[in-house]
Amino acid sequence: MEFSEYFLRISRHETATEVTDSSVRSDRVRLQLTRLAGEEAQQQGEERGEEQGAERTLEAGLVVECMGSEANVEVARAAGLEVHPELGGIVVNAEMQARTDVFAAGDVACYFEPALGRRRALRHDHAVASGRLAGTNMAGDAPRAYTHQPMFWSDVGPDIGIEAIGIVDAQLPTVSVFCEDAVSEGVSDIKLQAATAAEEAGAEEGAGVSLQVVGGAGSGEGAGADERQYERGVVFYVREERVVGVLLWNLYNRMHVARQVLKQGHFEDLLEAAKLFSLHEAE
């Protein structure tokens, strides 16, 4: 049960998002993309929820709910530490220091980095790396700045593997580049849908949604140009003409390249930047 229009929103380009939903459904997972009314009852070991605007009851033996995470900063406020008014979390400098001899790390830390600005990273990789640095700086004589760019990953069923780094926000303008030789039947005419997305982006100033399909060995064969499904590619998230996030779609062992792209930030042609990821090589 997802309180959203889609199971996993990759970008404002709906086609890639629809592919994710289709993949999940093909694994015999029923997606109920709606919002439940607040009324829930437990009867005879069953959880029930009434759908808003519809007379329908969903029954389940077990309900697992993901609530997200919110920083508990009451102790920090009581101690006089600065708490970010928008991002939440304890404000720290690049050394993970909130005040002299006071450090914060992990999800609760709101830190600054030159490339992406002040942010919070709710990621396991960040918790490990920032915690290690905070401990080192507490024990050492010469504090070091936090330069690690944390990543996260997710497997969506057996067919889609995602690795991402930086600011991955579906509301940001995106440029998606997918390899044409990694295709299968499933979604009709992604080139046409890419053109449609570009037209919609042009109609809304600053929308900046773009998708490109690059040819390769076997391009145009097999399923045909009118029946293609994304299987391997990269999505760039852009803010103020700078790449601030990179999402790898079924591309593995390339996180070091993503970190280099994020470090450079500015590219005249993101199609050229996509070539750095060797899209035609599965591994």
**Residue 93 maps to which CATH number?**
3.50.50.60
Task: Evaluate whether residue 121 is within a structural domain.
Answer: yes
Q: In this structure, are 127 and 196 located in the same domain?
A: no
- CA pair distance 150, 130, nearest whole angstrom: 9
Q: Which of 90, 113, 139 is the last residue of a domain?
A: 139
Of 68, 59, 65, the closest CA to residue 30 belongs to 59
Task: Evaluate whether residue 7 is within a structural domain.
Answer: no
Q: In the chain, which residues have pLDDT < 50?
A: 1-2, 37-52, 183, 185-207, 209, 215-228
| Cβ 97 vs Cβ 146: under 8 Å | no
pLDDT value at residue 27: 62
Strand partners, 50: 57
Q: In this structure, are 131 and 165 located in the same domain?
A: no
Task: Evaluate whether residue 9 is within a structural domain.
Answer: no
Q: Report the number of distinct structural domains present in the chain.
A: 3
The model's pLDDT over 209-245, given as tens digits with 9 standing for 90+, comes to 455 555 444 344 444 333 446 678 899 999 999 999 9
Of 138, 163, 143, the closest CA to residue 153 belongs to 163
Q: In this structure, are 186 and 253 located in the same domain?
A: yes
Q: In this structure, are 48 and 87 located in the same domain?
A: no
Task: Evaluate whether residue 281 is within a structural domain.
Answer: no
Torsion angle defined by CA atoms of residues 169, 28, 191 and 201, in that order, rounded to the nearest 10 degrees: -30
How far from 55 is each of 22, 37, 138, CA to CA, in Å? 26, 11, 58
Task: Evaluate whether residue 145 is within a structural domain.
Answer: no
The model's pLDDT over 172-189, given as tens digits with 9 standing for 90+, comes to 888 888 877 654 544 333
Task: Evaluate whether residue 119 is within a structural domain.
Answer: yes
- CA pair distance 65, 217, nearest whole angstrom: 44
Is the pTM higher than 0.85? The answer reads: no
Q: In this structure, are 166 and 269 located in the same domain?
A: yes
Owner of token pair 């998606």: 176
Task: Evaluate whether residue 258 is within a structural domain.
Answer: yes
Q: Give the side-chain half-sphere CA count within 13 A for 178.
A: 22
Phi, psi dihedrals of residue 162, rounded to the nearest 5°: -120, 135
Of 156, 153, 154, 225, the closest CA to residue 189 belongs to 225
Q: Containing domain of residue 221, as a range?
A: 157-275
